[in-house]
Structure 1
Amino acid sequence: MARAALRSAAWAERWFPDAWVFAALGVVVVAIAVLGFGATPVVTANAFGDGFWSLIPFTMQMAFVVIGGYVLATAPVVARFIDLLARAPRSGRGAICYVGLVSMLASLLSWGFSLVFGGLLVRALARREELRMDYRAAGAAAYLGLGAVWAMGLSSSAAQLQANPKSMPPGLLSITGVLPFTQTIFLWQSIALTAVLILVSLLICWVTAPSDAQARIAQDFGAVESATPVLPPRRRPGEWLEYSPVLSILIGVLGLGWLGYEFANKPVVTAIANLNTYNFLFLTVGLLLHWRPRSFLNAVTRAVPSTAGVLIQFPLYGGIAALLTHAPGLDGQTLAHRLSGVFVHIASTDSFPLVMGVYSSVLGFFVPSGGGKWLIEAPYVMQAANDLHVHLGWAVQVYNAAEALPNLINPFWMLPLLGVLGLKARDVVGFTFIQFVVHVPLVLGLLWLLGLTLPYVPPVMP
């Protein structure tokens, strides 16, 4: 199984184009389908152009999820905290499981933070010369946040989008209404599924960790274990404010004041469900922990390249969503309506979670969007859920749980972590492939079984 995974990863790295190409192909395929069902070229072009910029607020919000996570994880005090955490494990196998647990728990808060934090924890553990920890297996464990449970937590873009009516395309809002976190990630069924995935993932980490004699440590890969970049000294008088904490303190006080007001006047669940509040919290705390503006700005500069895919892909997703929901054919029906009819035809109320889970995981392998493809799928998937009387919040969670599965074998989201570790995808995918083999039947089975316990709730409009 490990050899097959390594061959699959090598093939994907050689032949898979950039994720933007898949999004662009999606635009072309959907546009051709819309034209094929009778939409005029003018209607098709206008729908794409109108939708292209419709998700700019959400695009920036998701970019700041990455930036905020990186800024917070690389703050000096957090870096020292990571070194402190790295003292806990007493064996190589224990260290690998420890990394997996920390990564998955952190991903429930922020997947961007989890990638960086997990990678830095592995590097800190690798600096312990007395610890024979397999560097590959530890890297794979650090990736479990993205590969197992990230979409079940607060950084789930699907759950965030459904809880924020101002971020939703009008066509989707009219289908689903507003779905607060209590109907998605805070369902007891969702929490139970997340707990099972964490426990099973840690068990796999334990049984697949190489022995001390077989372990390949960081030095075997030429990985240079350096600490967080040191702030260079001030060279010019004009840089005084960049190196003084005055501005950080003043802006941080304002930010904390606003956050305090938000949480004091709204339920905690409602406040944290707002993606602007969520990102504002990370940036404010990150600014204060970096203390000096120059340190904060350097961290932002290092984080920005990781947002390129989000910035250039999400407008295409907005265009696709508009083509699906706002370009009617000759009979007045949109492509989203037709696709929902297909779902209703092949799925029943009981089998819907299983059918949708398989579909979402397969599509997620070819379009590794980090939640962005929910904008494409949601209009027709959620319309089908309404028609079949499936719990709408659980439909979102089915998408969330299934979308994480292909991350275990697709190297796309591994890249930021691999950059931190100095590894290649083929070095870790042998371990993540074993997780994938176990997770697929486990996740699909639990999605179906837990879905049977949830009654249908009609959409609630804002």
Structure 2
Amino acid sequence: MFKAMTRGSVRLVERYLPDPYIFVILLTLIAGVSAMAFEQRSPMEIVQYWGNGFWGLLTFAMQMLLVLLTGHMLASTPLVKSWLRGLASLARSAGSAIILVTLVSLAASWINWGFGLVVGALFAKELARQVRVDYRLLVASAYSGFLVWHGGLAGSVPLTIATSGHFSEDKIGIISTSDTIFAFFNLAIVITLFVLVPIINRLMLPSEKESIYVDPKLLEESPDDLNQTTDRPADRLENSRLISWIIGLAGLAYLFDYYVLRGATLNLNVINFTFLILAILLHGTPRRLLKSLDEAIRGGAGIVIQFPFYAGIMAIMIDSGLAASLSEWMVSFATATTLPFWTFMSAGLVNIFVPSGGGQWAVQSPVVIAATQALDADMARTAMAVAWGDSWTNMLQPFWALPVLAIAGLKAKDIMGFCLIQLIVSGIVISIGLTWL
């Protein structure tokens, strides 16, 4: 019965899910038409909102792109890749490969979402070289670990409200990560997903007849010619380990001061800095680092072209009042106890149009904060409901799957059918955790 559900989900998505670029164009049209219909805005007003907001998230887009790039550069270091090869050797069957890639992706995504996306995809390719397993489900399992990112160390909502000077500080103050990321209810959700997501992925494994395999030869990496040098001083500099160690040690000194001496909290900038410094040190030479950067940028191409469109959608939803109306309508049913659940549901819906944790908090925070204060509810829990809603419907929204798909060589329709099953199961788990734990 479970395999039949999965089969139907895969066929549905393969038939009807368009390319992510087409998806964002359709979402733009839906947002515009909805704003005209429900907020009584004129077509020219919608076009103005869209155009004015199109470049409104450039700073945040760069920050998000750096999360992906630094995560990719760290994940592609020789040390990390050797760990992945060693881990892949533990898989003796298709089922164990599915479970193993899910666990690795979950752990890496909890640490950092960009790191998790890249490690999951690279590990899936390594497993496909060693084990005969359905490649679609293997990559989908790698992406499913992304479910936990917003409840982890790089969650943009909890890190934003824990950072001094954030845009809502005058209303809610500073909320420590001990009340969000490391709160009991959040850790319980994360642990439950760590147990349940691998099991669900294993249950979705197609039969031998229905499985789609990839030729391991197609996944082989090109020969590494980075050690070739000439007598040019420039080549010697590009292959100099001394340069990497000088800048790397300077970075470690700063991080020691930041984390240990100052005891400062996590935020997106310091996480990006940490991953970049580690990548510089572990790659060894500037040339190796820059090669990994070239590969990472290709994986981020979809983010670069699509993020402005999502900024435009966000502008339509905010400036027209559509996002506020949607959030107000959904939280209007709420009590102090059920507010996190309804916030989670509304955040999941908004995330389809605004697939950015920080951007989504900017959209929903005015309504969420007002409702939380009016009902005397737990602000930290409600904020995490927005975070989990954003993370949850990424199993339906293909935007953040783009880097994984670029690395794996697949299309969104190849994996999203499996992810749809995870959407249903994880939605139940997260709802229970936010409401009753």
Q: Are 2:289 and 1:287 aligned?
A: no
TM-fit CA distance, 1:13: 3.7
In structure 2, the CA distance between the partners of 1:370 and 1:351, relative to structure 1 (3 Å rule), is closer
Q: How many angstroms apart in 1 are the aligned matches of 2:380 and 2:171?
A: 13
Q: Give the match for residue 100 of structure 1.
A: 102
CA contact (8 A) 2:401 2:412 kept: yes
Q: Which moved more, 1:397-406 or 1:207-216?
A: 207-216
Cα distance change on mapping 1:433 and 1:197 into 2, 3 Å: same
After superposing the two structures, state which structure 1 stretch, 301-310 or 132-141, moved more.
Answer: 301-310
Equivalent in 335, 346, 351 of residue 348 of structure 1: 335
Alignment of 1:319-358 (within 5 A): 342=329, 345-358=332-345
The equivalent residue for 2:197 is: 201
Q: Is the 8 A contact 2:344 2:386 kept in 1?
A: yes
| 1:401 to 2:388 alignment | yes
Distance in 1 separating the partners of 2:163 and 2:306:
21
Pair 1:165 & 2:164 matched: yes
**Most deviating of 435-444 and 98-107:** 435-444
Q: Is the 8 A contact 1:122 1:142 kept in 2?
A: yes
2:124 and 2:139 in contact (8 A); partners too = yes
Return the letter of the residue paired with 1:132: R
Quickly say closer, same or farther: Cα 1:336–1:389, change in 2 above 3 A.
farther
Query: Is the partner of 2:158 in helix, strand or coil?
Result: helix
Q: Distance in 1 between matches of 2:332 and 2:114?
A: 38
> C-alpha distance in 1, partners of 2:324/2:239?
57
C-alpha distance in 1, partners of 2:325/2:394? 29
Question: Which stretch of structure 1 is more off in the superposition, 73-82 or 345-354?
Answer: 345-354
Aligned pairs (5 A) from 1:2-401: 2-14=6-18, 17-18=21-22, 21=25, 57-128=59-130, 131-146=131-146, 148-166=147-165, 168=166, 170=167, 172-210=168-206, 215-219=211-215, 224-227=218-221, 230-232=224-226, 233-235=228-230, 237=232, 238-267=234-263, 270-271=264-265, 273-308=266-301, 342=329, 345-369=332-356, 371-401=358-388
Report the TM-score, using the length of structure 1 for normalisation: 0.80
- Structure 1 vs Structure 2 CA RMSD: 3.6
- 1:2-49 CA-to-partner distances (Å, cap 9, x unmatched) read 343234423554376556647866996799799969xxx9xx989x96
| Residues 355-384 of structure 1 deviation map (CA, whole Å, 9 limit, x = unaligned) | 122222223234433553222122222222
Larger deviation, residues 196-205 vs 415-424: 415-424
Q: Distance in 1 between matches of 2:270 and 2:381?
A: 25
Alpha carbons of 1:243 and 1:430: their partners in 2 closer, same or farther (altered >3 Å)?
same
Whole-angstrom CA distance in 2 between matches of 1:425 and 1:216: 15
**Structure 2-normalised TM-score?**
0.84
Equivalent residues, number: 429
Q: Is the 8 A contact 2:302 2:402 kept in 1?
A: no
Q: 1:156 to 1:313 in 2, by over 3 A?
A: farther
CA shift in 2, pair 1:308/1:127, >3 Å: closer
Q: Report the CA distance between 1:403 and its aligned residue.
A: 2.2
Residue 58 of structure 1 and its aligned partner are, at CA, apart by 3.7
Deviations along 1:124-168, one digit per CA (max 9) or x if unpaired, are: 22222xx3333222212111122x2111111212122222234x3
Q: Which residue of 2 aligns with 1:457?
A: none
What whole-Å deviation, never above 9, does each CA across 1:41-91 have from its counterpart, x for those lacking one? 9xx989x96x88776554432221111100001112221221111111222
Say whether the 8 Å CA contact 1:248–1:288 is kept in structure 2: yes
- Report the Cα distance in structure 2 between the residues aligned to 1:314 and 1:416, rounded to whole angstroms: 13
Amino acid at match of 1:137: L
> Does the aligned pair in 2 maintain the 1:344–1:387 contact within 8 Å?
no
Paired residue type of 1:62 = M
Q: Is the 8 Å Cα contact of residues 405 and 440 (structure 1) preserved in structure 2?
A: yes
Aligned-partner Cα distance in 2 for 1:88–1:315 = 42
Q: Give distance in 1, aligned partners of 2:176 and 2:30.
A: 29
Name the structure 2 match of 1:458.
none
Gaps of 5+ in 1: 451-462
Q: Deviations over 1:251-282 (max 9, x none)?
A: 01111111111122233xx33x1322211110
Q: What is residue 453 of structure 1 aligned with on the other side?
A: none
Tell me the residue number matched to 1:454.
none
Q: Deviations over 1:94-142 (max 9, x none)?
A: 11101100100100011111121112112222222xx333322221211
How far apart, CA to CA, are the structure 1 residues paired with 2:222 and 2:119? 12
